[in-house]
Amino acid sequence: MFGFEAADTAMMSGWVLFGVLFLSPFLQEDFGVIVAATASLAGTAPTVFLAAAILTGLVASDAWKYWMGRLARRYEWAHKFAEKPGVSIAGDLIRKEFMQTMLTARFVPGTRIPTYIAAGFFKAHYPKYILTLAFTASLYIAVVFTLFHSVGAVAGEDAIFWLPIGAILLLAAYIVFRWLNHVNRHEGPMTPMTDEFDHPMPGMPGFEGTPLEDDKSESDDKGSDEKTSE
């Protein structure tokens, strides 16, 4: 009608699908992977195409978080990123067990942002960071896609409808559980890392005035007052 042939329409649809999958991790990573796995199960597009789209989106959506940690070392406006609960804990783990920590963060929603910011703050090698992101994301995608196709092969066509719904409900339940845990126990928001182990991070100019530094300064003041009274 407008000069488009069937091949042109198919190509445009493919690019739209690629764009949706690429952008979905910027909103919620696990949801994006579930959408891609569902599209693969339904045969919407070749699995390789869908996996490449969601992988690109996952890496792109996490690549910039590293730089929030790096900038937090130099600029006061970026301090808020490094002050997030769990960042100092993730930093301790990043320095000791980089690969294991990055792998854990990929599979445990709520630990990713603190871990990726900590990687930047503690100056992890950026090419190594990107390669590890790509590896852990590829592994995560492979696990979810395999799970969807395996269950789909057993459950039949109905799995296309109830499998993604079940996965989304499970993800939502986990998020609600983490949030309630945060509210009731005052843990870091949306992270399994409790603020009980959070601590001031060395080498951050202008970090004074944050809640962590306030706690430290208060304890130092109390210690100095006790010594003075003695």
Q: Does 158 or 229 have the greater pLDDT score?
A: 158
The beta strands (E) that lie in 93-219 are given as none
Cα 202–chain centre separation? 24
User: Is the pLDDT confidence value at 87 over 90?
Assistant: no
Q: Output the pTM of the full model.
A: 0.73
Count the helices and strands in the chain (H runs, E runs).
10, 0
Task: Give the pLDDT of residue 221.
Answer: 41
Q: What is the pLDDT of residues 174-188, one digit of tens each?
A: 666 665 665 555 444
Average pLDDT score over the chain:
75
Extents of the domains making up the chain: 12-199
DSSP letter at 197 equals: G
What CA dihedral angle connects 15, 17, 18 and 22, to 10 degrees? 140
Determine the 3-state secondary structure of 6 from DSSP: helix
Average pLDDT (123-140) is 95
